[in-house]
Structures are given as structure tokens and as C-alpha cells.
Structure 1
Amino acid sequence: MRTPLCLALLAAFAGPAFAQDPDSLNRAPGGAGAGRGGAAAAAPRPYDRVITAEAKTKRGLMNVHRIGDRLLFEIPRRELKKDQLLIGRYARAAAPEGGRGGAGQSAYAGDQFAERTLRWEVMGNRVILRGPEFAIASSDTASAVRRAVENANYAAVIATFNVEAWGPDSAPVIDVTRLFTTAIPEIQAIPGTIDATRSFIDRHLAFPDNIGIEATQTGLAPAPAGGEGGGRGGGGAGAARPPRSVMAHYSIVRLPEQPMMPRRFDERVGFFSTQLTDFGTTEHRSAQRRFVTRYRLECSDRKSGNLCYPKKPITYYVDRDTPEWLKKYVRAGIVEWQTAFEAAGFKEGIVPADPPSPEQDPDWAPEDIRHTMIRWLPSETENAVGPHVHDPRTGEILNGSVRMFHNIMNLQRSWYFTQVAPLDKRAQKFPLPDSLMGRLVQFVVAHEIGHTLGLQHDQIGSSTYPIDSLRSKTWVAKMGHSPSIMDYSRFNYVAQPEDNIPVQHLLPTVGPYDKYAIMWGYKPIPTAKSTDAERVTLEQWSRMQDSIPWYRFSSNNAYGAFGTQSEAVGDADPVKATTLGFKNIERVMGYLKDATTDPLADNSDLLELYNRTVGQWANEAGHVATMVSGATVQYKSGGQTGSVYTPLSREKQAEAVKFLNENVFRTPMYLVRPDISERVEAGGIVPRVNAPQQRVLGTLM
């Protein structure tokens, strides 16, 4: 459910900096020479002839001047040759027809389309805008190899600009209008050609550490081969799409002048990471250095018992466009993580907030990189994502952005019905009550926040609990049915009606692994003054996994490890878990018609839930199939004893095959419902059940 956004390292950009006819650029008022390469730069003019009384100036990281349709940057000398980060996000966008798209399609307000490190340099009467990369480095600053690294790190030129004037402190003044209104491949908001005559600057903002530019861009993106014209007048190969306009918000922020001390990545704890190749080591070879991505969280002098309040808490703003009845559940998904930060030593390390109104702060923008947002988007996409932006040098997270697509609610209601309707009467009839749907949204928000905090999916979590414990009211009240909300364990389908599990404990929450991982990544180590000095303490924390199995981490389907499957609950013993899950699916089949019957509606809900119930059955069957030739996994460092991968016993694999023969390849008659299939399709039930049986067989083969 997530797709993180990191800087593309060592990317090569070919061609000119501006995808326009150079002559048209030369004729641009005030912008002559931008992107012209080797042409002679025009002589700068007096400052007051360029920055006239008509200028609307905002001062901050850079002084930003608006004169008519033109936008000029006045770059202080202190910002030259300093690393900055540009983030491009849509302030307004043209969503796909019908609200489809969203995840990965950059179609909604707040979606990110550009991320680029910038560096401004003066060369005579020109300013060069470069895009430096940090994929290779030398930790030995005195080594001769450092010069070789610098020579191999020549930063790409994004654009060049004539110096229009020199400011009072010798700050170069440049016209950057076309940086935001023409097709610059590295940062443009619309792929393809941008029409400069229909593109313009909307507003400019300036703050001490960043600036913001909003610009409307209008363009024609080429259609893919074969076209898209079904029902719209042709659409053959190469047919152009209709014009599209977006309002792009560009944040340019100074990267920290005092970089955060990075923390080394460890595959035993599931953080995202940034990576570089270090040529300055004493290892007689280059070394890969990986650092976890995390926010900079530092203790203030304010205490609460053994906990400290952070100097700057991690603040998540709740989108004003979120349905009003859901806002309290979104806030609750944020607050859920406070206990995890308490494990790291912080009181209220993460907090919710409401954006200021336009009257309170007219310059406040949700796309501003300084603001981490939870956005609600009008999309039919059944998903949510939680990307983050980080300093490529250290892994410091600068911004997180949770994207909640509206139809995530449809996916959640379907999953909840197919997995635990027998355990919660509220789920046995649609529509679900708002109180239940709100709690489902809270779960998704909390999961995606985990990604923005730096955490990967922990797919091994659900297999680290004894399966019988998942039917214990006292266990799930304390531990949950999975140790991690970052696991794809969804809802507790192992529990049975006779277990009387309270409905609030059927859903995942921030669990023991999540608290452990946040502790491992965020807890200060005051005695360590360098990244390498932290390694002994971090190793001690990692080895806690030897005695506490639910602290272990693994990604999805790790090298055939059967306990790392997606959508699994109780997969410490997939045969037993699936036996119990199938019992609930049989019960769910009995609810289908009553749950979806509406005398004034068609049968589309019935068809959808029938399909999803068969899909849930196939998922659970697939978990058993992975036991054949499967293994358990526990990642270990070189100093730890024992195996990393342990093959499953012959007896357990034979048990899995026997179960599949008896319960999967022998068609379960509770899935065969002519009274349902004859209302929704003409093809009959055989293909519906046969297709997932074939998929399970394919897993075995």
C-alpha cells in the first residue's frame, strides 16, 4: 500500500535544459540567455532598473520578486553553492475521468511530480543551476581519492540564467519565469510539451528556510502507442490527448546546514534507507553505506517523568477536505503512534493538527514541504499511500504525505466482511455503520503514517505469535493479533464466534514490533558522537530479537519463507490458520445475499462480495501452498550463531499437501452457490472456483 519517493541517484539527463526553440527563449523579456549554453551573456543592468517600484517582493531564503508576468530570484551569496531540495506537487490538478487513478498517476492535489537536489553557482555574468547527486562519496576527506570522487560527481546542468542585475550584497538577480512555465524535464509538472502562452506564475512565497512558487502549466502530453480514443473519435497510434492544465506548487528548501547524524541501516529492523558508495574506506574496496530514513527528533529541556518533550514534534495536518465525520478517526490514527515514541523516550513525539484558515495564514499551503499532510482525494482507487521525502545525504525525513483515496473505504468494508463478519454483527449488513467504517479508516491512516515515519512492511509479524493465542481475549487485548500494524495481516479471521473476541480487538493497532522499531530508529544514544559509535548499542538492540521473536522483521515472501506472506493471519501454522479461516468463509457465504440485498438496487454488490469472498478463500489457500519447499527466516549479523533460513520439516510439508488435496483441490461445496451465481452471471460457478485452484497449483509447481 505504499510507494515511497526517494531521490533518483546518478540519473542522467540528456538534451537541452529547455525543450523550446532557443530563439523563442532569447526573445523572452528579461530572460534572454536562459538555457542558451555558450552564447555570450548580456551585461547586467543597474539594480533599480531591474527591480523597479512595481516589484512585489517577498524576502526569505531568497528574495523573490514579481514584476508583471515575470518572476525573479535574488540569490544571497550565502546560498550559492549550498545544497537545496526542490519538491514539486500539484496544488490543483485535473483528476482522471470518473475519479480513477491516483496511486502513482499524479492526478490529485498534493501528488508529487518532482524531487530534485539543486545548487546555484555563479560563472561570470551567468548563474548555473545544477542538480547534484550523492550516490558516491569519500568518508576520508584527506584522501587523494576524494578528488577522484569529486571529479566523478560532476553535477548535471538543469538550466543557465543571465544575471539581470547585482543586488546590494553582490547577490545575482535572475529571471526564472521560464523555469516554472516551460518544459524542463527534471521538474515540469506535465510530461510532454508545455505551452508557454498558456502557462504563467500564480503566486510566490518566501520564508526563512524555503520559498514557494505556484504556476499554472498547460500542455499536451502525447498519447501512448495505440491511443486512448475508444468511443472518443478514433484514438489511433500517436493521437494527442486533450489539453491539460495543472497548478504546480514548487517548494525549494535549504538542506540542513548541520546534517543530522545518520543511523546505520540494519536489515533486521524494517526501515527504508538511503544509500551511497564510499570510496574512502580502509577496506581495500568500496563500501556500501546505508542509512535509515527517520525524522530528526531531539529532546528539549521539558520533561514528563522519564520522557522528554521534543524540541519539534512530528506534526501531521489533517486535510480540511476530509469528510467531517472521519476527521476524528484520522486524528486517532496519528495519536496511535504516540506510545511508540514513548518507547523511544519522547512524550508526544507525534501530534495531529488542523491547518490554519486562509484568514489566519493566507500564505499557508498544504503542498509546502514544511507541512506533513494527510490528504483525502476523490478517487475510485482502492488504496492509500504514505511516501516521504528525505535528505539524500543522511536519511533525515523532511516531509511525509499520506494519500487517502476515497474508495479505500470500499476495500476496507469488503475485507472486513469477508474475513470477520461472523465475529462482528455490524459487518453482516451493508452499509456498515459510520462508527465501524471510521475505525477501519483509522487503521489505514495509522499504517500509512508508519511508512512516512520510515517503516517498511513487516510481513513476518503475523507468524511470530502462537496461533492459539489469537483466540485468547487476554492475549489480543494486550498484544493484538499481529505485533505490527505494518504487517498485511488485516483482520483476525483465525478467531471463531465462540471465542467472543471483543470487536475492537479484531483490527490491527500499533503493536509491540512497531514500538520496538521506533525505539531502535529514534531513541537517542547520548554517548555516541558519530554514526559508527552507535553500532554497539544498535547491535544490542537488534539482538533482542533472539529472545523476543515478534521483534523480528522480514519483507514479503522473503526467499521462500512461508511465514512472510501477505494477507496472512496466524501463519506460524498456515494449515491450522487456514482451517479456521475456511470455517469463517463458509459462514460468510451464508451472509452474502442478506448483506447486499436492496430491493431498489441491482446485484452489483452481491457480485462484488461474492468475488471477494472467493478471493479471500484463495489467499488463505495460497498461504498453505507456500509451506511446500518453504523455510523460516531470522536475519542475523555475522556475530550471531545459527541459521538464517531453516527448511520446514518433511512432515509439515506433507501436512500442507494433504490439506490442499482435501480442502482446496477437492472443491468446497460452500463456494458453489447457484442461487447467487445465476443472479450475477451467465458463465456459471466452475471458472470462478477453478481459477484460484489453478493459482494454488501453480504455487506448488
Structure 2
Amino acid sequence: MQRPNLLTKVCGVLTLTAVFFLQPGFFVSAQEQPAEKDKPEAKADEKKPDASSAKKPKFKKYDEVITKEAVTKTGLFRVHRIEESLFYEIPTDALDTDMLWVVQISETTAGSSYAGMPAGDRVVRWEQRGDQVLLRDVRYSIRAETGDPIAAAVKASNLAPIIRVFEVKAYGKDKAPVIDVTDLFKKDVPEFSARRSLSAGAMDSARSFIEEFKVFPRNVNVRVLASYAPGRATGPGGGGPPGDDTPRSSGITAVVHHSMVKLPEVPMKPRRHDSRVGFFSVSFTDYADGTTHEAETVRYITRWRLEKKNPEAAISEPVKPIVFYVGREVPEKWKSHVKAGIEDWRPAFEAAGFTNAILGKLPPDPRDDPDWDAEDARISSIRWLPSSVENAFGPHVHDPRTGEILEADVRMYHNVQKLVRDWYFVQASPSDPRAQAFPLPDDLMGELIRFVVAHEVGHSLGFPHNMKASSSYSIEQLRSPEWTRKNGTAPSVMDYARFNYVAQPGDGAALLPKVGPYDHFAVNWGYRQFSKGTDEKKELEKIVKVQKDQPIYRFGDPNAFVDSTQQTEDLGSNAVEATQLGLKNLERVAGYLIQATSKEGKDYSLLANAYDQLLAQWNREMGHVVNVVGGVQEVNLYFGDADRRFFPNAAEYQDKAVTFLLENALSTPTNLIRDDIVARLTPDGTAQRVLNAQSQVLRNLTSASRVNRLAEVEQTKGNTAYSPAKLFLDLRSGLFRELAAKPVAIDLYRRNLQRSYIDLLSANIKTPAANSDLPAYSRAELQSIRETIQKADGSGASTVVQAHLKDLLSRIEKALDPRTP
């Protein structure tokens, strides 16, 4: 996995030409001066210059700068602390070397951020310029092979910015420059500032202190107790509500951890990105003189450096395994589940040729290893953040030269527990009696946390979300105990498939996702090490070719409003059938909602939250069906494997989706509007809440982009397509079906929905979408609905229904003719 030329190439582009500066005293003429004829000889008793008047040395002696009071630690640099000052003594072999600088929050004031949050990272280089040392910000966004004529132009266009200039105070052993870096940490240097992460104001050096420093063979760590002026309130990552920029009334103090680690001397052999396989990537513009006749955007996947101890063995332990530590702050009862979530990826790496490739470990006892630090840029860990945010995330830090992942810290917000608890309750509790009452038992919560950790560790291994994965399992497979236990509820744990809401009580199917077949495929493609002499490109193509006939190995970014097979929070290959089964489970949950959430002597806040989650799940599932209409399916195969990339959904499938929505989403959901629940929560009932949900369905169904896609397909497929005209006809027939009855009876929820639809069509006329048939269809629909209302026999209808019909006609007239009074 080596690419010997990469470092040479990069350094050839980016390393500055050495510049030598002559001191004023060095400008001496070599020409001999003519003798002065009449110059008298010096008298023997002439006074010599006093020694005290001789020119003072430019630098202090080493021991005058690094005094006996210094606390010194040696490793990558020699670092000295003298009272509140910090000095770096930089070995000459560490100059002109790329280093990764990582900043994290170790501790902070409540409401500003959280311990363990990232604050930035960048590649830097220390360079000596005469008697100064420059700290430079190194970038790799443009490159060219050394030796190419254009390489000089690329180098000239990619000059590394100077972050700081340091005067050399003295020289140590082997000419190592000694510099004072105190201000680098006690003042607010923008490139390393934590202000943004803390939502803080200006840094106050008078209230900031260097707390601690540690030095290792490959890195230097510095902890700073930093104080800031009041700033703005934070959003979801901090203490304030989203979008709140209210100034804070008090300042912020935080412990900011700086870790500088030397990048590998021999860069990892990179692997080119392939859009058919999901990997995060690092990109740059390559100006090499290739055959494409254009500047090429090159993308390398981000991955860990896994190299076999025995390169010729089919399966081998790695030279250096991937290790994630379970943070000391993780609640004790969850630590074993967190470790299990990390190691859930081990079978996938074994299939790719590595045993024990990824390990979950507990941190060493502080008494055994006092220097162990979760913020160290060499250490990857699972951090637990005391936050009410319902989320988790798994970032990583990588070498920009090659994409090698160097360090990763998964952050688990405390309230991710609430998130998965609520989802599991509304999606899977009908099939799991353990989840039919709050609080959920610890064994179940441990399984849910394990799932979240496995997902986030996947991100830290280089994998993005794969929203296409879940669409490759049939409804039958999702209800099968054998299938789901072997393959999980989706081919990838990186999908937002959540929990098995398709399974019905008695099926016995698995309910949680797991590291699945697609994940094994992606690990194999991204991490497999090939023997010397193997054509790697051909071997990788062989691996990816299985996608042609096996959809479970396909990858897709979220594209929810276009590709109905790449949605979030969905399951199965048929959204209509999946949602039909999902609604049955929601009705079951509604039946025991009060019993599950209510406790003697407690209020109804837990019931209110659970009911909100129930309705939110209803909205999500209906949204999956909406996206079938006008939807396409993307099959990302390359030339030679497929003659097209996008396939419109079958007209029959779209027709079934609209029929389903009319019968379920756009009919009054009486099974969820339960008086025994609503009467405990609100004095206003649920009419407005139901209307909001149904109106959202209508807006999405009749959006300009959806109508445009339907029209495009109709243009090419003619009468066999599901057309915009058919969509509006179906909606009119379903939304106003009561007008065909005698007498006409329309309940409150339906009256609200009909008014909303008329207003939606009217708005389409008033503010027409550019280059769309939507205004024309909307105008025609209003005319047709007016005719339908006028033909209806409302003589036996109630007073409110008669008034409602007159109101609809009035709204239509005003929309069609704004001059109507």
C-alpha cells in the first residue's frame, strides 16, 4: 500500500526554495585598499579599544534562555516551560516537515460547547528563515507531478500562508532553533482558535494560562486554560436553541487541547474514489499533463492504513490495528455495548483479509499511564457528551496528501438515548414486548446504543450514509426471521433504515440493523490489500462488478425527492406495502400509548412526547409513498454495464401510491385521533395538527418539480405514463368524493383539507412557477372542481356543509378572477 513518489511529488510542488540572507556585516569588499602614503605609524602606547565596547553577540547563550528553572520534556521537539513561558526547541530534521495540528475542547463553561468537541485541524510546517522560524499553513488543493513544465506554475500558485513568525532566541544542540511560542497559545491565533466552537468573543490573554504540555516521539500536546469575552449563544451543538444569536451576559473559560503530530514520512498508497462505492474522500485539482486535456479533479478515499504483517497470506493480522478507546466518561453500564458496537466491524475486515483489524479497548488506568489523553491526535475514542441534543456523529481526521485516516473520535450526545428509545418504541415495540412500557430495560437500551456506535464508527472508518441499501430487501425478506437474523434489516448499517417497522407481531423477524452485506462489500473494496504485481485497478473493478446483478451491493446518496429508493428512515423495496404494514403497527402503538407512558402521580409529558413521535412516524411513512409519484430509480453503473442510469417508476406503482395516499394520508386518520389520548394533552383537539400533516402531503404531491418530472416522462412514454393530468384527476376524485353522495356529508377534517387544496391551487396561479405546467393544471383543476361543486346536490346537507360549499366556490371565483368581489 505504498506510493513512494507521492511525498516527493507533493513536496516538490509545495516546498519553498531555500533563501539565504546575508547580514549587514557580511558585505565586505575583497579588493585590497590602497596604502595611504603619509599615514603615520601607530604609537606603541596607543590605547586599544575597551573589551566592553565590542559588539554584543546576536543571541543569548542557550543556558541564558533555557535556564535551570526550565521544565523540559523531549520527543518530537524539546519543549521547555519557564514559569508562564513555553519554548520549542526544534530539531533541524523536524524543520520543513508536514505536521497535523488538531484542536479540541477538553473542558468548557456550561452552555458554550461540550468536552470532546472538535475545534479544527490543519497541516502545518515549521521553516527556518535566517534567524527566524516561520509557521506555515500547508495546503494540497492543487498539485502537479514534479518535472512537469506546469509544476512550477502550480507551486507559484500554492504558496503556503505564514501563520506566525518567531524570532530565534538561542540555538541548541545541532543548531536547533529555540523559539518562544507562548503567544501561540495565550493569544487568539485564528488558524487554531476555538472561539467559533465555543461561540465566544475575543480571547483574553490576561485570563489565559498554559496548563500542561506533553511530548512524545511523534507529537506534542499542549493544554490551555483559555478565557474569552461573552459571545453569541450557540445552536444545537451548544447550550442555546438553534438560530439563537443572543449575546451572552458572561464570559467563557475552556480548556483547549492542541495536539501536533508528525505526518507519516512515507505517505500511504492512496486509492482512487469510485462513485459506485460509498467512501468519504479528499480531493485536489491535478494539473499533470495527462490525456484528458483538462485539469482533473482527483479524489482519494479516506481510510485507515491497514497493512498485513504477512502480505502474502490470505488472512493476516495488520501491522497496526484500528483501535477505538471507550471514553472514561461513557456511563459504566454502556461500556460493554459501546465496545461491541466498535467490534461489530471485525467480521467485515476478516472477509477483506484482516484478523483483529479493529479493536475496542478501555483506557489505561491513570496510575499506569498518566500521559494517556483522549484529545491526543494519535488516539481514537468514543466520547460521551453531556448534551440534550438527540444525535451522535463520527468524524475523522485524515492526511490530505493521501486520505489516510489518522485519528477519529465518535461523539455520542447523552440524549441520543432518547432518540433511539422513541424511534424503537413507535417503530418496533409491537413486535418486542420489552419496549411496550417506559423506561425501556437496560438490555434493550444497550442494544440500541450498540447500533448507534456501529453506525458512527462506520463514518470514522470512511463510510458515508448509504440510503439506497434498504430498498434492496423485499417486504417478505423483512418479515423473515432467518433472513433478517443473517443479513440484518438493511444491507448496510450506514443506511437511515432505523428499526423494522414492517415486521408484524408473531413474525419473529430481527428488528435492528447490523453491519450487513453491503458493508462487507465496501470494506473489501476499500481496504483489501493486493499482492505485489497485482493489477489493483482490475481487481477493484472485479469487486464492484457484482453490483450489476445484485442490488444489495449498490450505493446511493440521499436524494429523497427524486429517487424513491434512496430515502431516509424507510425500509423495503415497495414503499406502499411497507407503509401499509407500518400503519398497522402505529395503530397498535396507539392502543397502549397511555399504559406505556403513564405513572401514578406523574404528569402527561411522557405521553405527549410519545404521541408526537407517533404522529411524526406517520408523517415519515407517508412521505416515503409521496416520493414514489414522479420518482425515479438511479442505478449507478458505468458504461458497458447499463445503457441508462435513471429509470422512472412504473405507472402502475405510482397509481397505487396515489390511491394509497387518498385512502390513508388524505382520509381522516381516526385510528390515531383518539379522544382518550388527546383529551389528556390539549384543549384544542387535533384538527390543526391533522390538517398540517395532510397539507404537507398535498404540497409535496403537487410541487412544480414533481409535475415537471411527470410531464417529462409523459413526453417520452405517452399514454403508458402516469401523467400530471392523471394525478390531478385522481386527487380531485378522492378529495371531493363526498359530493357524489346524497345527502352530501363532509366532516371537519375533510372540510379543512378541501379548503387547503383550493388555497394551494390558487397559490399556484398567483405565483406561477417558471417553466412549469403547474399553473395551467391548477387553473384547470379549479374550474373542474367548481363544476363538480355546482353539480352536487347539497339540498340535504347540514348548514355547515352548505356554507362550506359556498365558501369553496367563492374562493375558486376569486382565484380564477381576482376582480371578483
Same fold (TM over 0.5): yes
Q: Confirm whether residue 156 of structure 1 aligns to residue 161 of structure 2.
A: yes
Q: What is the DSSP-based 3-state SS (H/G/I as helix, E as strand, rest coil) of the residue aligned with 1:153?
A: coil
The match for 2:525 is 520
Q: What is the identity, as a one-letter code, of the residue corresponding to 1:550?
A: I
Q: Is 1:358 aligned to residue 366 of structure 2?
A: yes
Amino acid at match of 1:598: K
Contact preservation (8 Å) 2:135, 2:165: yes
SS of aligned partner of 1:164: strand
Partner of 2:744: none
Query: Which amino acid is 1:541 matched to?
Result: I
Deviation at 1:469, TM superposition (A): 1.1
Matched ranges for 1:199-348 at <5 A: 199-223=208-232, 239=247, 241-282=249-290, 283-301=292-310, 306-348=314-356
1:76 equivalent in alignment to 2:91: yes
Instruction: Kindly state the Cα deviation for residue 637 of structure 1 after the two structures are TM-superposed.
Output: 2.1
Q: For residues 180 and 314 of structure 2, what CA distance do their matches in structure 1 show?
A: 54
Q: Residue 442 of structure 1: CA displacement?
A: 0.4
Write the deviation string for residues 525-548 of structure 1: whole angstroms up to 9, x where unpaired.
22368xxx5322212211111122
Question: Which residue of the other structure, out of 562, 566, 569, is the alignment partner of 2:571?
Answer: 569
CA contact (8 A) 1:210 1:254 kept: yes
State the Cα distance separating 1:643 from its structure 2 match: 1.6
Q: Contact (CA 8 Å) 1:560, 1:629: kept in 2 or not? A: yes
TM-score (norm 1): 0.88
1:621 aligned counterpart, secondary structure:
helix
How far apart are residue 95 of structure 1 and its match? 3.2
8 A Cα contact 1:203 1:215, kept in partner: yes
Aligned pairs (5 A) from 1:444-463 = 444-463=452-471
Percent identity, aligned pairs only, is: 45
8 Å Cα contact 1:374/1:401 also seen in 2: yes
Q: How does 1:649-660 map to 2 (within 5 A)?
A: 649-660=650-661
| Residue 237 to residue 116, structure 1, CA distance change in 2 (3 Å) | closer
1:43 Cα deviation from its structure 2 partner: 3.8
User: C-alpha deviations, 1:311-346, integer Å up to 9, x for none?
Assistant: 111001001111111111111101111001011100
| Whole-angstrom distance in 2 between the partners of 1:92 and 1:528 | 50
> 8 Å contact 2:311–2:531 — kept in the other structure?
no
> For residue 273 of structure 1, what is the amino acid of its counterpart?
S
Asked if structure 2 preserves the Cα contact closer than 8 Å seen for 1:277 and 1:287, the reply is yes
The corresponding residue for 1:91 is: 106
The SS at the match of 1:564 is coil
* CA distance in structure 1 between the partners assigned to 2:326 and 2:470 by the alignment: 30
CA distance in 2, matches of 1:152, 1:372: 35
Residues 360-381 of structure 1: per-residue CA shift (max 9 Å, x gap)? 1111111001110101111111
2:673 partner letter: V
Question: C-alpha distance in 2, partners of 1:302/1:545?
Answer: 28
Change (3 A) 1:527 1:548: farther
Counterpart residue identity of residue 580, structure 2? T
Distance 1:506 1:276 in 2: 42
Aligned to 2:617: 616
Secondary structure in structure 1 of the residue aligned to 2:698: helix
Pair 1:669–1:43, CA change in 2 (3 A): farther
On the 8 A contact 2:230/2:247 being kept in 1, the answer is: no
1:688 deviates by 1.9
- Check whether the contact 2:390–2:416 (CA below 8 A) recurs between aligned residues: yes
The answer as to whether partners of 2:560 and 2:568 remain within 8 angstroms in 1 is no
Three-state SS of the structure 2 residue aligned to 1:351 is strand
Distance 1:62 1:312 in 2: 24
Whether the 8 Å CA contact 1:43–1:164 is kept in 2: the answer is: no
Greater share of helix: 2
Structure 2 residue 480 is the aligned partner of structure 1 residue 493: no
The whole-number CA distance in structure 1 between the counterparts of 2:348 and 2:482 is: 21
Deviations 1:129-162 (A, max 9, x none): 1101110001x31111001000000111111111
1:168 aligns with 2:185: no
Structure-2-length-normalised TM-score: 0.75
Using the TM superposition, give the Cα deviation of residue 558 of structure 1 relative to its aligned residue in structure 2, in angstroms.
6.1
CA–CA separation in structure 2 for the residues paired with 1:302 and 1:624: 50
- 2:565 aligns to what SS in structure 1? helix
SS of the equivalent of 2:502 reads coil
| Structure 1: distance between partners of 2:449 and 2:480 | 25
Task: Give the conservation status (yes or no) of the 8 Å contact 1:491–1:508.
Answer: yes
Alignment of structure 1 residues 394-473 onto 2, 5 Å: 394-473=402-481
Distance in 2 of aligned mates of 1:237 and 1:399: 32
Residues 525 and 648 (structure 1 numbering): CA distance in 2 closer, same or farther, change over 3 Å? same
SS class of match (1:65): strand
- Looking at structure 1, the residues matched to 93 and 634 of structure 2 have their Cα atoms a distance apart, in angstroms, of 51
Seen in structure 2, the aligned counterparts of structure 1 residues 618 and 558 have a Cα distance that, compared at 3 Å, is closer
| Superposition CA RMSD, Å | 1.9
Instruction: Give the alignment of 1:44-59 within 5 angstroms.
Output: 44-59=59-74
Q: Which string of whole-angstrom CA distances, capped at 9 and with x for unpartnered residues, describes residues 4-54 of structure 1?
A: xxxxxxxxxxxxxxxxxxxxxxxxxxxxxxxxxxxxxx9432111111111
1:72/1:175 contact within 8 Å kept: yes
Cα displacement (A) at 1:222: 3.3
Aligned-partner residue type, residue 64 of structure 1: V
Q: Pick one of 22, 44, 66 that aligns with 2:81.
A: 66
Give distance in 2, aligned partners of 1:72 and 1:598. 62
Residue type matched to 2:390 in 1? E
Q: CA deviation at 1:221?
A: 4.1
Q: Name the CA distance, whole Å, in 1 between partners of 2:146 and 2:491.
A: 43
CA gap 1:44/1:114 in 2 versus in 1, 3 angstroms: farther
Greater Rg by CA: 2
2:129 corresponding residue in structure 1: 123
CA contact (8 A) 1:671 1:689 kept: no
Runs of 4 or more above 6 Å deviation: none
CA distance in 2, matches of 1:206, 1:88: 16
SS in 2 for 1:515: helix
SS at match of 2:316: strand
Gaps of 5+ in 2: 1-56, 703-821
Show the counterpart of 1:28.
none
- Aligned counterpart, 2:812: none
Alpha-carbon contact 1:341-1:519 (below 8 Å) kept: yes
Structure 1 residues 541-561: Cα deviation after superposition (integer angstroms, max 9, x where no partner)? 111111221000001126711
Structure-1 residue corresponding to 2:720: none
Letter of the 2:625 counterpart:
V
CA pair 260-237 structure 1, distance change in 2 beyond 3 A:
closer
Shift of 1:223: 3.3
**Is residue 148–residue 289 contact of structure 2 (8 Å, CA) maintained in 1?**
no
Aligned to 2:579: 578
Any conservation in 2 of the 1:302–1:309 contact (CA below 8 Å)? no
Secondary structure of 2:383's aligned partner? strand
Greater RCO, 1 or 2 (C-alpha within 8 Å, sep 6+)? 1
Distance in 1 (CA, whole Å) between partners of 2:58 and 2:101 is 29
Equivalenced residue count is 634
Aligned with 2:140 (options 117, 134, 138): 134
Find the aligned partners of 1:95 and 1:541 in 2 and give their Cα distance. 49
Unaligned runs of 5+ in 1: 1-41, 97-105
- Listed as ranges, the matches of 1:161-200 within 5 Å are 161-191=166-196, 192-200=201-209
Match of residue 594 from structure 2: 593
Letter in 2 for 1:480: G
Secondary structure (helix, strand or coil) at the match of 2:228 reads: strand
What letter is aligned with 1:297?
L
Query: Are the aligned partners of 1:274 and 1:293 in contact in 2 as well (CA < 8 Å)?
Result: yes
Q: Distance in 2 between matches of 1:695 and 1:257?
A: 56
Offset at residue 82 of structure 1 (A) = 1.1
Match of 1:368, SS state, is: coil
Q: Tell me which amino acid in the other structure corresponds to 1:180.
A: F
